Amino acid sequence: MRAVNQPVRKKDAMSLVTGKPVYMDDVINHENCLIVKVLRSPHANAIVESVQKAAAEKVPGIEAIYTWEDVPGQRFTMAGQTYPEPSPYDRLILDRHVRYIGDPVAIVAGDSEKAVDKALKILKVNYQVLEPLLDFRAAKDNKILVHPEDSWKSLCPVGADNQRNLCASGESGDGDIEAVLADCDIVVENTYHTKACQQAMMETFRTYCSIDAYGRLNVLSSTQIVFHVRRILSNALGIPKSMIRVAKPRIGGGFGAKQSVVAEVFPAFVTWMTKKPSRMIYTRRESQIASSPRHEMEVSVRIGAMKDGRIRGIDVYTLSNTGAYGEHGPTTVGLSGHKSIPLYGTPEAHRFRYDVVYTNVMSAGAYRGYGATQGIFAVESAVNELAAKLNMDPVVLREKNMVREGQIMPAYYGEKTNSCALDRCVERAKQMIGWDNKYPCRDMGNGKVRSVGMAMAMQGSGISGVDVGSATIKMNEEGYYTMIIGAADMGTGCDTILAQMAAECLDCPVDAITVFGADTDASPYDSGSYASSTTYVTGKAVEKACEKLREKILAKGAELLNCGPGEAEFDGERVFCAATGDSVDLKTIGTSAMNGNRTALEVTETNSSPVSPPPFMCGMAEIEQDKETGQVELVDYVAVVDCGTVVNPNLARVQTEGGIAQGIGMALFENIQYSDKGHLFENTLMQYKIPTRLDVGKIRVEFESSYEPTGPFGAKSIGEIVINTPSPAIAQAVYNATGHWFRELPITAEKIAMALADD
Amino acid sequence: MKVTVTVNGRKIQEEIDADLLLIDFLRNHGCMSVKRGCDTSNCGLCTVMLDGKPVLSCSVLTARADGHKVETLEGLQAEAEEFGAFIADQGAEQCGFCNPGFMMNALALFRENPEPDVEEIKEYLAGNLCRCSGYEGQLRGILNFLAWKKEGRP
Ligand code: FES
Ligand code: FES
Question: What is the average pLDDT across B113-140?
Answer: 98
Separation CA A379–CA A402 (nearest Å): 13
Ligand 2 centroid to residue B133 C-alpha, Å: 6
Same domain, yes or no, for B80 and B141? Answer: yes
Structural domain span for residue B70 = 2-74
Same domain, yes or no, for B44 and B98? Answer: no
Asked if A34 contacts A111 with a C-beta cutoff of 8 angstroms, the reply is yes
Across chain A, what does the average pLDDT equal?
97
- φ and ψ at residue A686, rounded to 5 degrees: -75, -45
Which stretches does DSSP call E strand in A296-379?
296-305, 311-323, 349-358
DSSP string, B50-90: ETTEEEEGGGSBGGGGTTSEEE-GGGGHHHHHHHHHHHHTT
- φ and ψ at residue A198, rounded to 5 degrees: -95, 140
State the nearest Cα–Cα gap between B50 and chain A, in angstroms.
18
Separation CA B136–CA A658 (nearest Å): 8
Pocket lining: B127 vs ligand 1, CB cutoff 6 Å: no
For residue range B16-29, list pLDDT tens digits in order: 999 999 999 999 99
The pocket around ligand 2, CB under 6 angstroms, is made up of A 202, 253, 491; B 94-98, 130-133
Ligand 2 centroid to residue A200 C-alpha, Å: 11
Separation CA A22–CA A40 (nearest Å): 30
Same domain, yes or no, for B82 and B143? Answer: yes
Same domain, yes or no, for B80 and B53? Answer: no
Fold equal for A416-461+613-759 and A469-607: yes
DSSP string, A645-706: S-S-HHHHHHHHHHHHHHHHHHHHT----B-TTS-BS--STTTS----TTSS-EEEEEE---
- Chain A within 8 Å of B13 (Cβ-Cβ)? no
Pocket lining: B58 vs ligand 1, CB cutoff 6 Å: yes
Measured between beta carbons, the chain A residues lying within 8 angstroms of B48 are none
Nearest CA to ligand 2 atom 4: B130
State the nearest Cα–Cα gap between A658 and chain B, in angstroms.
4
Ligand 1 centroid to residue B81 C-alpha, Å: 23
For residue range A526-577, list pLDDT tens digits in order: 999 998 899 999 999 999 999 999 999 999 999 999 998 789 999 999 999 9
For residue range A134-157, list pLDDT tens digits in order: 999 999 999 999 999 999 999 999
Percent of chain B beyond pLDDT 90? 97
How many other CB atoms sit within 10 Å of the CB of residue A615? 32
Residue in chain B lying closest to A493 (CA): B94
Q: B11-14 — which CB contacts under 8 Å span 24+ positions?
A: none
- Provide the pairing of β-strand A278-281 with A34-40: parallel
H-run or E-run covering A271? helix A265-274
pLDDT bracket for residue A694 (50, 70, 90): very high
Separation CA A226–CA A545 (nearest Å): 21
Separation CA A284–CA A189 (nearest Å): 39
Residue type, A593: A
The answer, yes or no, to whether residue A349 has pLDDT greater than 70, is yes
Interface test with B, best of A224, A367, A683, A693 (most B CBs within 10 A): A693
Residue in chain A lying closest to B130 (CA): A202
- Chain A within 8 Å of B118 (Cβ-Cβ)? no
Question: A190 vs A135, A172, A385, A598, A640, CA distance in Å?
Answer: 20, 20, 9, 68, 28
Pocket lining: B26 vs ligand 1, CB cutoff 6 Å: no
Same domain, yes or no, for B69 and B36? Answer: yes
How many other CB atoms sit within 10 Å of the CB of residue A55? 11
Pairwise CB contact (< 8 Å): B95 & A659: no
Measured between beta carbons, the chain B residues lying within 8 angstroms of A651 are 91
Ligand 2 centroid to residue B98 C-alpha, Å: 5
Domain termination residue (choose one: B74, B96, B119): B74
How many other CB atoms sit within 10 Å of the CB of residue A445? 7
- φ and ψ at residue A750, rounded to 5 degrees: -60, -45
Domain ranges of chain A: 25-132+199-289, 133-197+293-403, 416-461+613-759, 469-607
ipTM, interface predicted TM-score of the complex? 0.98
**Per-residue pLDDT at A277:** 98
Question: What is the average pLDDT across A276-296?
Answer: 98
Separation CA A39–CA A43 (nearest Å): 12
Separation CA A364–CA A323 (nearest Å): 6
**CA dihedral sign of residues B133, B139, B142, B143:** negative
Separation CA A571–CA A589 (nearest Å): 13
**CATH code: domain of residue B31:** 3.10.20.30
Measured between beta carbons, the chain A residues lying within 8 angstroms of B73 are 18-19
Residue from A581, A503, A583, A598 nearest A542 by CA: A503
The answer, yes or no, to whether residue B107 has pLDDT greater than 80, is yes
- Chain A within 8 Å of B122 (Cβ-Cβ)? yes
For residue range A207-249, list pLDDT tens digits in order: 999 999 999 999 999 999 999 999 999 999 999 999 999 999 9
Same domain, yes or no, for B11 and B63? Answer: yes
**Per-residue pLDDT at A477:** 87
Residue in chain A lying closest to B33 (CA): A19
Number of folded domains in chain B? 2
Atom nearest to B37 CA in ligand 2: 3
DSSP string, A37-96: EEEE-SSSSEEEEEEE-HHHHTSTTEEEEE-GGGS----B--B--PSSPSS-B-B-SS-S
To 5 degrees, how large is the angle CA A487–CA A491–CA A497?
60
Same domain, yes or no, for B28 and B55? Answer: yes
Ligand 2 centroid to residue A612 C-alpha, Å: 28
Alpha helices (H) in chain B, listed in sequence order: 22-28, 77-88, 99-112, 118-124, 136-150
To 5 degrees, how large is the angle CA A349–CA A352–CA A355?
165
pLDDT bracket for residue B154 (50, 70, 90): low
- Chain A within 8 Å of B139 (Cβ-Cβ)? yes
Determine the topology of domain A469-607 in CATH.
Answer: Aldehyde Oxidoreductase; domain 4 (3.30.365)
Residue of A252, A661, A699 lying closest to B95 (CB–CB): A252
Percent of chain A beyond pLDDT 90? 96
Domain termination residue (choose one: B74, B97, B130): B74
For residue range A369-390, list pLDDT tens digits in order: 999 999 999 999 999 999 999 9
- φ and ψ at residue B122, rounded to 5 degrees: -65, -45
Same domain, yes or no, for B63 and B110? Answer: no
Determine the topology of domain A25-132+199-289 in CATH.
Answer: Aldehyde Oxidoreductase; domain 3 (3.90.1170)
Separation CA A160–CA A322 (nearest Å): 12
For residue range A160-205, list pLDDT tens digits in order: 999 999 999 999 999 999 999 999 999 999 999 999 999 999 999 9
CATH 3.40.50.20 matches A133-197+293-403: no
- Quick one: residue A727, left, alpha or beta (phi over 0 = left, psi -120 to 50 = alpha)? alpha
Residue from A341, A417, A424, A361 nearest A615 by CA: A417
Residue of B37, B88, B96 lying closest to A9 (CB–CB): B88
Same domain, yes or no, for B43 and B96? Answer: no
Determine the topology of domain A416-461+613-759 in CATH.
Answer: Aldehyde Oxidoreductase; domain 4 (3.30.365)
Measured between beta carbons, the chain B residues lying within 8 angstroms of A686 are 40, 42
Question: What is the average pLDDT across A465-479?
Answer: 93
pLDDT bracket for residue A345 (50, 70, 90): confident
Cα A680 → chain centroid: 23
**Per-residue pLDDT at B6:** 98
Domain termination residue (choose one: B52, B74, B96): B74
Question: What is the average pLDDT across B99-128?
Answer: 98
Pairwise CB contact (< 8 Å): A13 & B136: no
Residue from A568, A618, A526 nearest A246 by CA: A526
The answer, yes or no, to whether residue B153 has pLDDT greater than 70, is no
Asked if A467 contacts A82 with a C-beta cutoff of 8 angstroms, the reply is yes
Asked if A282 contacts A263 with a C-beta cutoff of 8 angstroms, the reply is yes
Ligand 2 centroid to residue A277 C-alpha, Å: 29
Which stretches does DSSP call E strand in A391-491?
408-409, 415-416, 441-443, 448-458, 469-475, 481-485
